[in-house]
Amino acid sequence: MIIDGVTKRIEGNLVLEDISFELKSGEITALIGRNGVGKTTLFSIIAGMYLADVGHVAIDGQDLRKHPALKKNIFFLEDNMNYFNSYSVKAVVKIYKNVYATFDEEFFDSLMERFELPKKAKVISFSKGRKALFFMILAFSLDVRYLLLDEPMDGLDVIVKKQLLQFILETVADRKTSVLIASHRLDELEMVADRVLVLKGTTLELDYYLESLRDTALKLQVAFNSKHVPVFVKAESELLQRNGRIYTLLVTENTDDFVSRVKAEEPILYQEMAITIEDVFTVRLADDKVDYYEV
């Protein structure tokens, strides 16, 4: 799937501007951004619920607007499915079986049993977490090529959430589904995402693969003998956190040279650390930047 140059205004306000990226089979892509940045609007355009003012969404080179039948390859799991509250599980399944010919009922039944959800129940009888779990099971049982998941694990307890994240990894690997997932819980995304898209303002700020970032960038904790931080450190790294004279840094360019110069300063602490999605969020999207208050 190609999202090409998508721009959208709502009530005269620019929400998305020239958004372009590709969703590939068998990949889990995390979409992160501050609240209200347009993540749900982007999901709605990809799913064909909104029309872009400029740009288009295409599957196998065909524009969804001109070929609406292609929408059967996409399912958008919204963060609120309350309009199904009065329905029974059986009724919801019947609706989606009629819409999606790919619905795998055997797979659905096995997941309902695996996660101990009753099939003879009304959706309204489920707790918030069990309801979220039910719709996640439903989404993957549709066996579509593209799944759009907006805050899908809200309300799940820790144990079920861990099981579900593992299930997502297994199913994507097995069925080669392409998943685009948004969550305010960056630690959850860390467990499953291959790739991260960062929305900032109205535009796509970053598009990167986590492994590639970890191969080319460096996160480290360092403390210097002097209370003063070397000028090159301030100029060539991003400050993620400060704890007294201990600085946590993110370096994205010329990491080998940077490390050599830091070690030449004979720091009293030097420790390399794993880069996380939260680090990228802190650098690119945090409102309040940490400063080098030297003590």
The per-residue pLDDT for range 250-295, each reduced to its tens digit, is 998 899 999 999 999 999 999 999 898 888 888 777 655 566 654 4
Give the whole-angstrom CA distance, residue 212 versus residue 179: 19
Contact 294, 228 (CB under 8 A): yes
Q: Report the percent of the chain where pLDDT is more than 90.
A: 65
Would you say residue 157 has pLDDT above 60?
A: yes
Judged against a pLDDT cut of 60, whether residue 29 lies above it is answered with yes
Reported as type and span, the H/E element at residue 54 is strand 54-59
Chain region(s) in the chain for CATH 3.30.70: 217-285
Q: Which residue has the higher pLDDT, 5 or 166?
A: 5
Query: CATH 3.40.50.300 in the chain, residues?
Result: 2-210
Q: What is the pLDDT of residue 289?
A: 59
Q: How far apart are CA 218 and CA 251, in angstroms?
A: 5
Please give the mean pLDDT across all residues of the chain: 90
Contact 193, 210 (CB under 8 A): yes
Identify the pLDDT of residue 2: 97
The SS3 assignment for 178 reads strand
Q: Which value, to the nearest 10 degrees, does the dihedral of the CA atoms of residues 88, 90, 95, 96 take?
A: 120
CA 36, CA 97: separation in Å to the nearest integer?
A: 33
Q: 163 pLDDT band (50/70/90 cuts)?
A: confident
- Over the stretch 135-151, which tens digit does the pLDDT of each residue have? 999 999 999 999 999 98
**Which residue would you say has higher pLDDT here, 293 or 114?**
114
pLDDT band at 9 (very low <50, low <70, confident <90, very high): very high
Lowest mean pLDDT among 59-63, 112-116, 127-131: 127-131
| Model pLDDT, residue 293 | 58
Domain 217-285 in CATH 3.30.70? The answer is yes
166, two tokens: 């593992």
For tokens 């501007």, name the residue: 17
Tell me the fold of 2-210. Rossmann fold (3.40.50)
Kindly tell me if the per-residue pLDDT of 173 is higher than 50: yes
DSSP at 275: -
- Which residue type is seen at 284? R
- Whether 245 shows a pLDDT value over 50: the answer reads yes
pLDDT tens-digit profile of 86-97? 999 999 999 999
